[in-house]
Amino acid sequence: MSVRQAARHQYQAIVDLAQSQAGELRVPPEGWLRTVRKALGMSGAQLAKRMRLTRARVAQAEKAELEGGVTLKSMQAAAEAMGCRFVYAIVPPVTVDNVVIEQARKKALATVGAASKHMALENQAVSDSRTQHEVARLMNELIYEMPPDFWEDK
């Protein structure tokens, strides 16, 4: 295993752990800021005072979170003001290996599909089992080599 592959496996382990811990975690309908604040029984004015902001600014942050415009810095500050810890993550819906396998499958199917069309035009079509075998072989090769264009869709 190359150093590059070993490093990639270490990164995969980190992401897979986060993915397994995040589970089905979803943003509450009112957003995390408002939901946690209300769960704590804290008013917007009380949070604003703790953050040394105006109540209007807290309301803006809560609205910005729902619209996707809140900054990580403001989420961190609000979490700390509420005695909480701010956590964020980017996690795939499945393991990293499964995401990589699916991309390899797409690339292999595109490559083999293009070759099959050309062969069929020349009356040299191959069987479905042979095509499936070639897709599997190419997938394994793509996963192992991870060529520079691996994530580029054709």
Number of domains in the chain: 2
100 in the same domain as 69: no
Distance CA 89, CA 92 (A): 10
- End position of a domain, from candidates 81, 110, 136: 81
Model-level pTM? 0.73
Distance CA 55, CA 51 (A): 10
107 in the same domain as 57: no
Residue entry with tokens 């900054």: 71
Distance CA 87, CA 79 (A): 9
Helices and strands, number each (H, E), in the chain: 7, 0
Query: Does 15 reside within a domain?
Result: yes
Amino acid at 44: G
pLDDT at position 153: 83
Cα–Cα distances (Å) from 20 to 11, 102, 134, in that order, read 14, 19, 33
Straight-line distance from the first to the last Cα atom of the chain, in angstroms, rounded to the nearest whole number: 29
In tens digits, what is the pLDDT along the chain, a chain of 154 residues? 789 889 999 999 999 999 998 878 899 999 999 999 999 999 999 999 999 999 999 999 999 999 999 999 999 999 999 999 999 999 998 999 999 999 999 999 998 887 666 555 555 556 778 888 999 999 999 998 899 999 998 6
Yes or no: say if 47 and 75 are a contact pair by the CB < 8 Å rule.
no
66 in the same domain as 14: yes
73 in the same domain as 18: yes
- End position of a domain, from candidates 53, 81, 109: 81
Query: Does 153 reside within a domain?
Result: no
pLDDT at position 54: 97
141 in the same domain as 114: yes
Query: Does 137 reside within a domain?
Result: yes
Q: Collapse the DSSP code of 91 into the 3-class scheme (helix H, G, I; strand E, B; otherwise coil) and give the result.
A: coil
Query: Does 152 reside within a domain?
Result: no
Which residues, 6+ apart, have CB-to-CB distance to 54 below 8 Å?
48
Query: Does 43 reside within a domain?
Result: yes
Query: Does 86 reside within a domain?
Result: no
Query: Does 89 reside within a domain?
Result: no
Residue entry with tokens 């499964």: 98
Query: Does 116 reside within a domain?
Result: yes
pLDDT at position 56: 97
* Structural domain containing residue 28: 3-81
